[in-house]
Amino acid sequence: MHPRKLYTNLSECKDSRERAAEALGFLRDASGAEAGYLLLWRSGELVLVASSQGQDMPPTILEKARAQWEREADTQPESDLTRTIEAATVIATPETPRWDGPRGERYEPRFLGIYRDSQWVPVGMAVLRVPQSGSLSPLRRAYFDALCNAFIDADDVSVS
């Protein structure tokens, strides 16, 4: 699906609940995740808005997601196109954190944020369950931008 089509599909949802479920379904399917959770920034806190299995998020994973959010929400990431890295100091690329669930399942967070009007806007986080095969498929930044724009334009998140 093209990112513009994703944005249009999300914009046409009847309410925020349907939009959240649609967005999580896209992230789950496109990444190859077994299941997932979507959290959005609302009224000063990270709130669970969708679950692919209709279940609450395991408390330990929710705690890790909120801790990760606290570390990264105010961070304005540099574009890979403009970041300067000293080649001699590069040993390994940073890995996405993986969190162990209560039943041995593994999760990976996907941070949702975007620059709008030259200002960094943190939107939320998807927490996706890693399949038994061991990895999630990467997604282009354009998809995350489409998701973020749809949530912001629909007033589904707190923008300050």
Beta bridge partners of 35: 129
Is residue 125 assigned to a domain?
A: yes
Quick one: which of 41, 32, 30 has its CA closest to 140?
30
Position 75 scores a pLDDT of: 66
Please report the DSSP string for 88-136 in residue order: GG--SPPPPP-EE-TTS-EEEEEEEEEEETTEEEEEEEEEEEPPTTS-P
Question: What per-residue confidence (pLDDT) applies to 54?
Answer: 83
Q: What is the pLDDT of residues 122-136, one digit of tens each?
A: 999 999 999 987 889
pLDDT, residue 95, reads 60
Residue 100 covered by a domain: no
Contact indicator for 146, 124 with CB cutoff of 8 Å: no
DSSP 14: S
Q: What is the pLDDT of residue 126?
A: 96
pLDDT of residue 76: 57
H/E stretch holding 51 reads: strand 45-51
Query: Is 85 inside a domain boundary?
Result: no
Structural domain range at position 125? 3-75+112-153
Indicate whether 62 belongs to any domain.
yes
Return the DSSP state at 75. -
For residue 133, what pLDDT is reported? 77
Residue 90: half-sphere exposure toward Cβ, Cα within 13 Å:
6
57: in domain: yes
Q: Is residue 95 included in any domain, yes or no?
A: no
Model pTM? 0.85
Flag whether 28 is in a domain: yes
Per the structure, the count of domains in the chain is 1
Residue 90 lies in a domain: no
Q: Which residues of the chain have pLDDT under 70?
A: 74-96, 160
CATH of the domain at 66: 3.30.450
- Residue 83 has a pLDDT of 42
3-state secondary structure (DSSP) of residue 46: strand
